[in-house]
Chain A
Amino acid sequence: MDGSRRCPATGRVIRLCRNDERGRIVKYLCLVYLDEAHWSACPDQECFEFASTLAGSGRLVAAEPLHPVHTATTVRVRNGQVALYDGPFAETKELLAGFYLIDAADLNEALSIAGRIPPAKYGSIEVRPVRELSVDGFRSFSPQPAAG
């Protein structure tokens, strides 16, 4: 394979771009999963150092640790009505499809934004607060939104 193939319908050649093909960068989301027993197994300092190195290499867009699952609220919108549930989403058929990292004054504002995320009408939005790494001199690894 040379990274291209012919579209069976139109006969046009489609280029299957890899991230390096035109010097373009593709974003990847790396999701961290932990069971409760290992929730705090990894020291914040270690995570901080890794993220700092990554940021130095220009490859880090955003990184945030989350509070444990008991802080989660799930938002669903059905028939125009927002329904809130304590805890993470329960439908095992639902798979991770995307993410929004938002700034909000409190949970009410976060839930109100989450309720407006379009796929909330078909699936679930799990809203989980971001925590701060307890590391001296910590700064967020996520880009800060423009003031206003």
Chain B
Amino acid sequence: MPVATALEDAYRRDRRKVFATLVRLLGGFDLAEEALHEAFRIAADRWPVEGVPRNPAAWLVSVGRFRAIDRLRRDRRFISLDDAVDAVEAEPDPAAPPDEQGGLEDDQLRLIFTCCHPSLAEEAQIALTLREVCGLATEAIARAVLVKPSALAQRIVRAKAKIRDARIPYHVPDADELPERLPSVLRVVYLIFNEGYAPSSGERATDPALSQEAIRLARLLRELLPEPEVIGLLALLLLQESRRLAREAADGEFVSLEQQNRSRWDRAHIAEGQALAEQALRSGRIGPYTLQAALAAVHAEAECWEDTDWTQIVGLYDVLLRVEPSPVIELNRAVAVAMRDGPVAGLALIDALMRLPALTQYAPGYAARADLCRRAGRYEEARAAYRQALALSEQGPTQRYFQLQLDQLPAT
């Protein structure tokens, strides 16, 4: 393999792993980031002469670490860093132990749990995970989460300062802590996926890059920590991702699940998602992500909207509501009830739900009501509800979708 290719490969494949290990060895994000750049710079000088090392990741960790120690030594005449140097030197050489790969993987998990620590604000968790675990550039993250790059950079700097000053530990929670700590990790991955799948505002219907990043993270988590809910989350993301092409029309407009051309669904994603969902369900420890994956799997099995097994969908929503009570899930259940028992039955549920404070400003709620009114032939009510949905929506494609539904209502 040419050296340039090996270097590129290592950069693409090992960069974040090496970073995660350097954070542990050097005890800080900024020091690790500098050491990582140094290591790749030296690799570019030395690999063409000395050949590509047998284990590039371990080589990069080792070189990065020694460079950082050198620098700390040179600097310690000016600032008192003796303790830091001693601590770094006390660590065993990461290139020495034979199980070095296992070590690198644990470090990635440590990095994920640190970036998703519940004492950081959710938006900081998302920004840090995308920056430090996925290695996305600050500008790309800022674009994706729709904040100014300067504001996002500030968010990341503050989060790193909190990790350092408040001493958020760099470790994977023990089995007894895991139930408390895993949800924030799963939520960050889910939010990253959703921001790419159904952006909360802006002009594009979807942003595939972010969803891909979330799936990559979920795969990594599943490899390192095969908990049922981790498997359930990966299943859910794959099943949702399978509909991406069908969900966005050629002109970029949003296409509802009912109207999607199901031959455009990605069968490979569906098969993998279904197998994972079954695996998670068999575990007997069934959480909200697994249940949502099961719901997505039922939709994936149906040839068309009308063929959907609505009885099973309603049943799954009933279980989901017991695990995670939420007005939005109640609303989805009401739509499923309408499909099973007719629009009037669904409307009775929705009208009661829309009086809840959590839903009075919720555009999809009005859209669901409008759709059921249309099915029941109550066109004037449908028109009014679509107008409310339109007024509450902030995202271009969704707004145009509601407008189209409004325009297509029969005149009364």
| Chain A CB within 10 A, most for which of B119, B168, B169, B173 | B119
Set of chain A residues within 8 Å of B49, measured between Cβ atoms: none
Q: Is A87 an interface residue (CB 8 A)?
A: yes
Chain A residues 96-148 with CB under 8 Å of chain B are 105-108, 111, 127-129, 131
Say yes or no: A129 contacts B121, CB within 8 Å. no
The total of chain A residues at the interface (CB under 8 A) is 19
Which of B157-165, B285-293, B386-394 faces chain A? B157-165
Question: Closest A-chain residue to B174, C-beta based?
Answer: A108
Which secondary structure dominates chain A's binding surface?
mixed
Report the minimum CB–CB distance from A88 to chain B (whole Å): 12
Which of these, A70, A84, A127, contacts B161 with CB under 8 Å?
A70
Distance, CA A73 to CA B167, complexed state (A): 12
With a cutoff of 8 Å between Cβ atoms, the chain A residues found around residue B119 in the complex are 73, 84-86, 107, 111
A86-B124, A107-B119 are contacts. A71–B161 as well, Cβ < 8 Å? yes
Which A residues are in CB contact (< 8 Å) with B173? 108
Tell whether, in the assembled complex, residue B165 and residue A131 are in contact, meaning their CB atoms are under 8 Å apart: yes
A82 at the interface (CB under 8 A from B): yes
- Beta-carbon nearest neighbor of B125 in chain A: A86
Q: Nearest residue in A to B124 (C-beta to C-beta)?
A: A86
User: Once the chains are docked, how many angstroms separate the CA of A129 from the CA of B165?
Assistant: 7
Q: Is the CB of B121 within 8 A of A67?
A: no
Indicate if the CB atoms of B121 and A87 lie closer than 8 Å: yes
Check B306 for interface membership: any CB of A closer than 8 A: no
**Residue B118 is within 8 A (CB to CB) of chain A in the complex:** yes
Q: From B169, which residue of chain A is reached at the shortest CB distance?
A: A106
Could you mark each residue 5-36 of chain A with 1 if its beta carbon is under 8 Å from any beta carbon of chain B, else 0? 00000000000000000000000000000000
* A-side contacts of B165, CB under 8 Å: 67, 71, 129, 131
**A71-B169 contact given A82-B180, A84-B118, A86-B119, CB 8 Å threshold:** no
Per the bound structure, the CA–CA distance linking A128 and B169 in Å amounts to 15
Given the known inter-chain contacts A86-B119, A129-B167, please indicate yes or no for A71 contacting B162, CB distance below 8 A: yes
Interface membership of B175, Cβ < 8 A: no
A107-B169 CB under 8 A given contacts A84-B118, A87-B121: yes
CB distance from A86 to the nearest CB of B (A): 4
A67 CA to B163 CA in the complex, in Å? Answer: 12
Whether B120 lies near A107 (C-beta < 8 A) is: no
Q: How far is the CA of A89 from the CA of B180 in the complex (A)?
A: 21
- A-side contacts of B169, CB under 8 Å: 105-108
Q: Is B166 an interface residue (CB 8 A)?
A: yes
Alpha-carbon separation in the docked complex, A122 to B341 (Å):
45
**Which A residues touch B180, using CB under 8 A?**
82
A134 — nearest CB in chain B belongs to which residue?
Answer: B80
Please, how many angstroms separate the alpha-carbon atoms of A82 and B119 in the complex? Answer: 12
**What A residues does B121 contact at CB under 8 A?**
86-87
Bound-complex Cα distance A84 to B167 (A): 15
Complex Cα spacing A108 to B163, Å: 11
- State whether B118 touches A107 (Cβ < 8 A): no
Cβ contact within 8 Å between A107 and B167: yes
Write the residues of chain B forming the contact surface with A, with a CB cutoff of 8 angstroms.
Answer: 117-121, 124, 158, 161-162, 165-169, 173, 177, 180
Between A and B, 6 residue pairs with Cβ closer than 8 Å are A71-B161, A71-B166, A73-B119, A108-B177, A127-B166, A128-B166
